[in-house]
Structure 1
Amino acid sequence: MAEPLAGIATRRVSALLDDLLSTEPVIALHGPRSVGKSTVLRALAEARGVPVLDLDDVGTRDAVEANPQTAVATPGLLCVDEYQHAPLILDALKARLNREGTLAGTAVLTGSTRQDALRRTAQALTGRLHTMTIWPLSQGEIGGVIEDFLPALRAEPDAAVAARPTSTTSRKDYVERLCAGGFPLALRRRGTARDRWFDDYIRQSLERDAVELVRIRQRTMLRELLGRLAGRTAQVLNLTKVSEGLTGERKTIEEYVRLLEDLFLLDRLPAWGKTLRARAAASPKVHVVDTGVAARLMRVSAAKLATLEPTSLSEFGHLLESFVVGELRKQVSWLDEQVTTGHWRTHDGDEVDYVIEFDDGRVLAFEVKANERVSGADLKGLRVLRDALGDRLIAGVALSTGLRSFTYEDRIHIMPIDRLWTQISEPSQTNKNH
């Protein structure tokens, strides 16, 4: 694995943010703590020649809460970091928009919790707010590559498969990548220093950020719940099993799972395609947002995951699926159009790990395989989905740790996982499109 972040990684969201400011009055950039939101915001502010109101700073926060109207009256673009610390600023911003009109490029806000957890945001800025999510660094961002996997696969699947027929990425490299995760500060560390960073990140998320959102009655249970869900990453969410032995009520446990989602520690991937078959399952899957965090919570090291011991194989398989789903999730967030995503699973045992449905109803489907060799039996779920969708299926792809990229049969392909961050089109063409 190449040395990550030799410089400052260029975030794909930065270009999207700059484009959206020409049409949107207020943009809220949400994402996990320490993911790089402040870096993106400060780069934008510097380019526009405006200051940043950092509400993580207690002094600044107190000043803003005492003088919210003055705080939002700054000329030019208003940039507010961690706005959830002083929600009064939203009412002041609303009043400014009411006075001056809803002008494009009025403000950019960042927050470390999901917008759904901050009802005041939606209430104050209804119809004027566009939200974006900044996820941990993608493998392409780490390596300085502009990923074009999804657009290329959608446009010309056969050409995308044939463009890079072989890979040199080893199983060991995949293990190292998923254990490193995508947080910039974790990527800059190694060994025990990185482990300490993950431990501090988890502790601060649960003891500081969670308490700011809700009144936590059972902090120990919240930590235990997160650990259990990490051990079940990439599996169907079953709260009955997860809560076995915990002292909290079912309602409290459900609230805590939602809280972990609001803090961007977990992501719930909904069931998709329930209308395709009567026996399609409706339960979501749960994925830890960052596999570096997940591996640390599970107390599994890269050395352990690299072995072929049965328990390690199972853990690697689940972590690898969450890793791939995370990379696809990031690339989906950069698409020009809104899409529907989910997993597909039937009560008959057929399943597909990640499905992307575009506005025109056409579909890309992905199955993640931790082995180097993919057999015909491994493609059963993709085949069943292809038959159910008919012409709506653009391509079904089994992403594996193998080295070859090829078409197996009609619209079903096998590709190495690293195709996700290997640029498919010519660099000059891709740069023109971005």
Structure 2
Amino acid sequence: MTATHLVPRRAQKLVSAALEDTRVVLISGARQAGKSTLVRVLAGDRSVERRDLDREQDRAAAIADPTGFVSFGDLMMIDEIQRVPELLLAIKATVDEDPRPGRFLLTGSSRLFGMRGAPDALPGRMETVELWPFSQGEIDGAPDGFIDAVFAQGPDLRHESAISRADYAARIVRGGLPEAVARNDPRRRGRFLDSYVQALIDRDVQELARIEQAPALRTLVRLLAARSATLIAAGALESDLQLSRPTIARYLRLLEEVFLVKRIPGWSRNLGSRATHAPKLVFVDSGIAAQQLAIDAHQLLRPGQPFGQLLEGFVVSELARQATWSDQLVDLYHYRDQQKVEVDVILENRQRQVVAIEVKAASTVRSDDFAGLRKLAERLGDDLLAGIVLYTGTTTLPFGDRMRALPVSALWEI
């Protein structure tokens, strides 16, 4: 991909549909994920008033006269709404007076409910569409249809892949931020990712809360990268950071508010043994996690490197992206109980049907790799549609009733 190549986004269809029947639409997601580019594409030839609250003059005008700032008869697009949260009340008053759909298209790099001083965030008047960094399917021009396919076909799903372990490693360290994907030189990509994290802490986190321990926050980000796809508890980080447990918990929330990390909750359905509710943590972009560990694609393949952890985080973030546009409405969890039965990913739909997924960095699969999936199958019965091991091999392999091994690339190539 080149810097000038425009990658079609799955979210475009979702936003266009929302503008047809909803007064206010918010595109939320990480900085540099492509929100402004998507807004320009959506504008097209329409009569649109465009404002950018990253620009000092626009921000000053919004603060001085919120009501006048949002006064426009047609669609108004406002980038980085979190910079002036007071505008939300003015928008609310405007759309209550004129309730036509498609009045405002907002973008935000922080979750509205986390913004310091944010007023009533337009309940019943606004639809939010999450925009993640590029998915692998968006980069490759591939279908990105795994979630819908696996719930429709269950263990009958089949996929053959030509992708190697080395290619998976390269995809992990590249990540999906458009600016990083456009850089073919790994050193230039690494410099961008380092600057990105630094700017996020110095700017966006400071917008949410005054942070006196910015160096400790940067250390926390590196520690989280080393613990990617593991259970995260604030108490386990106290000695490393020399910060109190409440402060660490607050910092974790802030990093999630600015879309740097995502916490995956524990899953339970009264299965006869107590399940942990502690969340797992993954980075929204796998390239950031790899860069924080100073690991390139070649190093990642060496023995002793955290290929398995980073691959699991990569898989979880791809599934989280896909869940924002799949027809099948699913929630994303992990599972672990007191008997140490673990499953990396639980996908559960609104009918309470479950697809359970293990992630393995190996290019071969053994029967033991299905141990947690089989335990879960015993407890769930027919509610488990399929137990899937995603691995770095190339073919689909059966491992008993409803159990299948599939190449990781099934996530985006199906």
TM-score band w.r.t. shorter chain = over 0.9
Which residue does the alignment assign to 2:108? 111
Q: Report the counterpart of residue 181 of structure 1 in structure 2.
A: 175
CA offset at residue 193 of structure 1?
A: 0.6
Name stretches of at least 5 consecutive residues in structure 2 with no aligned partner. Answer: none
In 2: Cα distance, 1:366 partner to 1:6 partner = 37
Give the whole-Å Cα distance in 1 for the aligned partners of 2:44 and 2:209: 34
Query: Take 1:61 and 1:229, find their aligned partners in 2: how far apart are those partners?
Result: 34
Structure 1 spans left out of the alignment, 5+ residues? 424-434
Partner Cα separation in structure 2 for residue 131 and residue 399 of structure 1: 31
1:380 aligns with 2:371: yes
Aligned-pair CA distance for 1:340 = 2.1
Does 2:249 match 1:251?
no
* Counterpart in the other structure of 1:404: 395
CA distance in structure 2 between the partners assigned to 1:316 and 1:6 by the alignment: 32
How big is the alpha-carbon RMSD for the aligned residues of Structure 1 and Structure 2? 1.6
* CA distance in structure 2 between the partners assigned to 1:417 and 1:366 by the alignment: 11
Contact 1:68 1:92 in 2 (8 A): yes
CA distance in 2, matches of 1:393, 1:54: 47
Q: Deviations over 1:237-261 (max 9, x none)?
A: 1322222232222111110111111
* Structure 2 equivalent of residue 238 of structure 1: 233
Hey, what does 1:432 align to over in structure 2?
Answer: none
Q: How does 1:83-122 map to 2 (within 5 A)?
A: 83-100=81-98, 102-118=99-115
Q: Please name the residue that 1:300 is paired with.
A: 295
SS in structure 2 at match of 1:22: helix
User: Structure 1 residue 70: deviation in Å?
Assistant: 2.2
Alpha-carbon offset, residue 293 of structure 1: 0.2
- Partner deviation per Cα, 1:76-119 (whole Å, 9 max, x = no partner): 1121100111112111111112222x332221111001233137
| Shift, 1:279, TM fit | 2.6
Match status 1:273 vs 2:268: yes
Identity of aligned residues (%): 38
- Opposite residue 325 of structure 2, the aligned amino acid is W
1:389 alignment counterpart: 380
Tell me how far 1:29 sits from its aligned partner: 1.2
- Residues 42, 52 of structure 1: 8 Å contact kept: no
**Paired residue for 1:11?**
9
State how far apart, in whole Å, the 1-side matches of 2:85 and 2:274 are.
45
Does residue 1:135 correspond to 2:126, yes or no?
no
Task: Give how far 1:71 is off.
Answer: 2.0
CA distance in structure 2 between the aligned counterparts of 1:6 and 1:303, rounded to whole angstroms: 28
Aligned position for 1:65: 63
SS of corresponding position for 2:163: coil
Q: Does 1:194 align with 2:189?
A: yes
Whether contact under 8 Å (1:25, 1:104) holds in the other structure is yes
Is residue 2:31 matched to residue 1:40?
A: no
**TM-aligned CA distance change 1:421 to 1:96, over 3 Å:** same
Residue of structure 1 in register with 2:144 after alignment: 147
Is 1:170 the counterpart of 2:164? The answer is yes
Contact kept in structure 1, 2:273 and 2:338, CA below 8 Å:
no
**For the Cα contact (< 8 Å) 2:26–2:126, is it kept in 1?**
yes
Q: Distance in 1 between matches of 2:2 and 2:238?
A: 38
Instruction: Return the alpha-carbon distance in structure 1 between the equivalents of residues 227 and 348 of structure 2.
Output: 26
> Would you say how many aligned residue pairs link Structure 1 and Structure 2?
413
Change (3 A) 1:88 1:70: same
TM superposition score normalised by structure 2 = 0.96
User: What is the DSSP-based 3-state SS (H/G/I as helix, E as strand, rest coil) of the residue aligned with 2:399?
Assistant: strand
Contact preservation (8 Å) 1:32, 1:263: yes
1:374 shift after superposition: 1.0
- How big is each residue's C-alpha offset from its partner over 1:137-165, in whole Å with a ceiling of 9 and x where there is no partner? 0000001122111111111224422xx3x
- Going from structure 1 to structure 2, the CA distance change for 1:343 and 1:217 (only over 3 Å counts) comes to same
The equivalent position to 2:217 in structure 1, one of 206, 217, 222, is 222
For residue 403 of structure 1, what is the amino acid of its counterpart?
Answer: T
Moved more, 330-339 or 19-28: 330-339
* In structure 2, C-alpha distance between the alignment counterparts of 1:119 and 1:390, rounded to whole Å: 46
1:207 equivalent in structure 2: 202
- Per the TM alignment, residue 66 of structure 1 is displaced from its structure 2 partner at its CA by 1.8
The Cα offsets for residues 299-336 of structure 1, whole Å up to 9 and x where unpaired, read as 111111122x2x21xx1100000000011111111124
Contact 2:89 2:119 (C-alpha < 8 Å) held by counterparts: no
1:48 Cα deviation (Å)?
2.5
Q: Distance in 1 between matches of 2:55 and 2:390?
A: 44
Taking the aligned partners of 1:371 and 1:20, their CA distance within structure 2 comes to 42
Residue 225 of structure 1 contacts residue 243 of structure 1 at CA under 8 Å; is this kept in 2? no
Specify whether residues 26 and 279 from structure 1 end up closer, same or farther in structure 2 by C-alpha distance, changes over 3 A only. same
Partners of 1:44 and 1:9 in 2: CA distance? 14
Distance of 2:329 and 2:269 partners within structure 1: 20
TM-score normalised according to structure 1 size: 0.92
Cα contact 1:140–1:146 (8 A) shared by 2: yes
Structure 2 CA distance for aligned equivalents of residues 393 and 122 of structure 1: 42
Q: Which runs of 4+ in 1 moved over 4 A?
A: 3-6, 119-122
